[in-house]
Copies of this chain bind each other. A is one copy, B any other.
């Protein structure tokens, strides 16, 4: 007797067979929803590197067949967030040390470029909005949990990238940040009571002052700070259940 009744069909699933309902409701695109759910869970550390992904569990949870889950896993793999082993199954990726270094380097370069673009494109209003985000970070920093902090911290960089006005570069940075969250979970040593929020605020300050060089220098410092938290020598994968995690992301 096992937990999930496998291979049984989702007759009892929530949305089951309700074909004639609201009809034509926008883009449900369950595949994409699964992809985002998993990516988010990974980014938050709810799914740690090395954890095995059960197709069936996800299929059951979303009330679809394994086929569509498979689709989502496929693109997640091509994004380097998952790893599929021959006939073993799929696991949350465990970036190698070499990969981690490349990611850090790529990020440094990219953030520099993005700052240039932001300097050219961003309006005062947008910078104000960005500053607001740092306020939120500050608040979370005092009252929030680890998870929120991590997520929000990454969000700052993505929002900053958006202000650069280049969707291509934004997407790239976004993917790098996602992969780096895996690196952090794998190799992080000390969770320094981070000055992240303050760094972010300073960067915005430099941007508002139209001081690109300063902004870049601050960014370098900030990133160096992050890189300083990891030791790039063999680490271990944390273990966590998987079903419980899913519950939080329905």
Contacts and interface: CB of A to CB of B under 8 A. Distances in A.
A180 to B, nearest CB: 10
Most buried by B among A67, A103, A105, A117: A105
22 contacts: A27-B86, A67-B67, A71-B71, A71-B74, A74-B74, A75-B78, A78-B79, A99-B167, A99-B168, A102-B167, A102-B168, A102-B169, A105-B166, A106-B168, A106-B172, A109-B113, A109-B116, A109-B117, A109-B169, A112-B113, A113-B113, A172-B172
Interface string A98-141: 11001101100110110011000000000000000000000000
A230 interface: no
Contacts of A67: 67
Interface residues of A, number: 29
A177 to B, nearest CB: 12
Nearest to A31: B74
A70 interface: yes
Nearest to A109: B113
Interface in A168-225: 168-169, 172, 176
Nearest to A113: B109
Nearest to A116: B109
Contacts of A172: 106, 172
A173 B117 CA distance: 18
Contacts of A167: 98-99, 102
A117 to B, nearest CB: 8
A196 to B, nearest CB: 23
A118 to B, nearest CB: 13
A106 B176 contact: no
A170 B74 CA distance: 21
Which of A27, A86, A110 has the most C-beta atoms of chain B within 10 angstroms of its own C-beta?
A110
Given A27-B86, A99-B168, A168-B176, 7 more contacts: A67-B67, A78-B78, A98-B167, A103-B168, A105-B168, A106-B172, A110-B113
B106 A166 contact: yes
Which 3 A-B pairs rank lowest in CB-CB distance, beginning with the nearest?
A106-B168, A75-B78, A109-B113
A74 to B, nearest CB: 5
Contacts of A103: 168
A81 to B, nearest CB: 12
A35 to B, nearest CB: 9
Contacts of A109: 113, 116-117, 169
